[in-house]
Amino acid sequence: MDVLWKHAGEIGQAAGATVLLTILSWIGALVLGTVVAALRMSAVRPARITAAGYVAMFRNVPLPVQMVLFVFGLPLVGIIYPLFASAVIALVLYTAAFVAETLTGGINTVARGELEAARALGFGPGRVLRHIALPQAFASVVQPLGNVLITMMKNTSVAAVVGVAELAYVSDEIATKEAQTFVVFAAAVVVYLLLGLILGVGVGYLEKKVAFQR
């Protein structure tokens, strides 16, 4: 246990980096995923095809591959970001595809009669999505979106592959330096477990609140 006290500051900073990576990536993924879901429901065929292609590409290519290609591939064409920012962007692009799929499922649960009534009242496609479809879609998929969020939090560990100093990367460095692999990674497991539980409780509370309001 001495090794944990010795490196408590480093582990705490790494856990903070993981939390920040999760927050920034989730905000970006939620925004981009909503846009992609809206495009998938568009009446414009090229928009639907583009959105479907985006989802198919980012869902079916493993995140570690995307992370490495994004971080080390873009500099070859002159596009350079800091490692942390690169990891955030890669996580956003990957997770947004799952957010879009989840929201699309939510939109499909909205009663067709409500959408037709809104159009009859003169609502354009954008207003129908913004005022009718998306609010109901979000309310109906709180738990599935929460699952995507928790999965994304765990996926932040993939950033270690490209050298981002988050929890998995720092844990590996400390474990190698101190030759205490089990103890250090057991501590990392506890941190990931706590983060997952906190997110799970938050999602459960939000789901109950939304269900009550509905």
44: domain CATH number? 1.10.3720.10
pLDDT of residue 206 exceeding 90, the answer is: no
- Give the domain range for residue 60: 2-213
CA distance 82 to 75: 11
pTM of this prediction? 0.90
What pLDDT does residue 84 have?
93
Residue with tokens 């983060």: 195
Domain count, the chain: 1
Q: What is the pLDDT of residues 125-135, one digit of tens each?
A: 566 666 567 77
pLDDT of residue 122 exceeding 80, the answer is: no
- Mean residue pLDDT of the chain comes to 87
pLDDT grade for 139, boundaries at 50, 70 and 90: confident
The kind and range of the H/E element at 119 are helix 112-120
What pLDDT does residue 106 have?
84
Per-residue pLDDT averaged across 174-189, rounded?
92
